[in-house]
Structure 1
Amino acid sequence: MTDPHWLVRRALKVLQSDETPLYLFTLAAEEVDLVADVARIGRDEAGKLIGYQRPEKQKHVKQIQEYLDSESPVFPNGLILALPPEVKFKSSRGPGTSDGLAIAGTLEIPIALDDDGPRPAWIVDGQQRSLALARTKNRRLPVPVAGFVTQNLEVQREQFLRVNTVQPLPTGLVTELLPEISRVPSARMATRQLPSALVDMLNHDVDSPFRGLIRRASTATGEKKAAVVTDTSLVEAIRESIESPSGVLFPYRNIATGSTDTEGIRRVLIAYWGAVRQTFPEAWGKPATKSRLTGGVGIRAMGRLMDRVMTHVRDDDPDAQQQAAAELALVAEKCRWTGGVWEDLGLPWDDLQNTPRHISALSNYLVRTYLAERTGRR
Structure 2
Amino acid sequence: MADRYELRLPALQIRQGERFIYAFAVDGKVVHSFTTVSRVHREKAALRGYQRPEVLSHIKAIRRYLESPAAMLPNALVLAFNDTVRFRAGRSKNIVDYSTMGELIIPIDETLGEEDKAAWLVDGQQRSAAIRDADVDEFPVAAVGFIASGEEEQRSQFILVNNAKPLPKGLIHELLPDTVGHLPAKYAKRQLPALLMSRLNNEDLFSFDDDDSPFQGRIATPTAPEGYIKDNSVLKMIENSLSDGALYQYRNPDDHSGDVERMLLHLKLFWSLVRATFPEEWNLPPRKSRLTHGVGVQAMGFVMDALTENTSAAELPNLDLYKPLQRLRDVCAWTTGRWAFSNTEQRPWNSLQNTPNDVKLLTNYLLRTIRA
Query: TM-score with structure 2 length normalisation?
Result: 0.88
SS in 2 for 1:155: helix
Q: Residue 212 of structure 1 aligns to which amino acid in structure 2?
A: G
Cα 1:258–1:189 shift into 2, 3 Å: closer
CA distance in 2, matches of 1:352, 1:130: 45
**1:77 aligned residue:** 75
**2:356 aligned residue:** 356
The count of corresponding residues between Structure 1 and Structure 2 is 360
CA distance in 2, matches of 1:100, 1:264: 50
1:331 aligns with 2:328: yes
SS in 2 for 1:110: strand
- C-alpha displacement of 1:297: 2.1
Cα 1:182–1:312 shift into 2, 3 Å: closer
**2:209 aligned residue:** none
Counting only pairs closer than 5 Å after superposition, residues 191-206 of structure 1 correspond to structure 2 as 191-203=189-201, 204-206=203-205
CA distance in 1, matches of 2:51, 2:312: 41
Counting only pairs closer than 5 Å after superposition, residues 39-188 of structure 1 correspond to structure 2 as 39-45=38-44, 47-95=45-93, 97-114=94-111, 118-188=116-186
- C-alpha displacement of 1:256: 7.7
- C-alpha displacement of 1:262: 2.8
SS in 2 for 1:21: strand
- C-alpha displacement of 1:39: 0.8
SS in 2 for 1:111: strand
Counting only pairs closer than 5 Å after superposition, residues 358-377 of structure 1 correspond to structure 2 as 358-367=358-367, 369-370=368-369, 373-374=370-371, 376=372
Counting only pairs closer than 5 Å after superposition, residues 201-350 of structure 1 correspond to structure 2 as 201-203=199-201, 204-206=203-205, 207-219=212-224, 224-225=225-226, 227-244=227-244, 247-255=245-253, 260-311=258-309, 315-317=313-315, 319=317, 323-344=320-341, 346-350=346-350
Cα 1:351–1:70 shift into 2, 3 Å: farther
Q: CA RMSD in A?
A: 2.5
SS in 2 for 1:282: helix
- C-alpha displacement of 1:146: 0.6
Query: TM-score with structure 1 length normalisation?
Result: 0.87
Q: Is the 8 A contact 1:79 1:126 kept in 2?
A: yes
Q: Residue 153 of structure 2 aligns to which amino acid in structure 1?
A: V
CA distance in 2, matches of 1:257, 1:67: 46
Structure 1 unaligned segments of length 5 or more: list them.
none
Q: Is the 8 A contact 1:331 1:366 kept in 2?
A: yes
Q: Residue 328 of structure 2 aligns to which amino acid in structure 1?
A: V
CA distance in 1, matches of 2:62, 2:24: 21
CA distance in 2, matches of 1:205, 1:231: 18
Q: Is the 8 A contact 1:313 1:323 kept in 2?
A: no
Cα 1:57–1:297 shift into 2, 3 Å: farther
- C-alpha displacement of 1:324: 2.1
- Greater shift in the superposed pair: 347-356 or 290-299: 347-356
Cα 1:101–1:283 shift into 2, 3 Å: same
Q: Is the 8 A contact 1:271 1:324 kept in 2?
A: no
* CA-to-aligned-CA distance 1:234-262 (integer Å, 9 cap, x gap): 12211211122xx0111122558986333
Q: Residue 194 of structure 1 aligns to which amino acid in structure 2?
A: L
Q: Is the 8 A contact 2:220 2:228 kept in 1?
A: yes
CA distance in 1, matches of 2:137, 2:346: 62
Structure 2 unaligned segments of length 5 or more: list them.
206-211
Q: Residue 215 of structure 1 aligns to which amino acid in structure 2?
A: A
Q: Is the 8 A contact 2:41 2:223 kept in 1?
A: yes
CA distance in 1, matches of 2:216, 2:4: 50
- C-alpha displacement of 1:273: 0.6
CA distance in 2, matches of 1:258, 1:166: 23
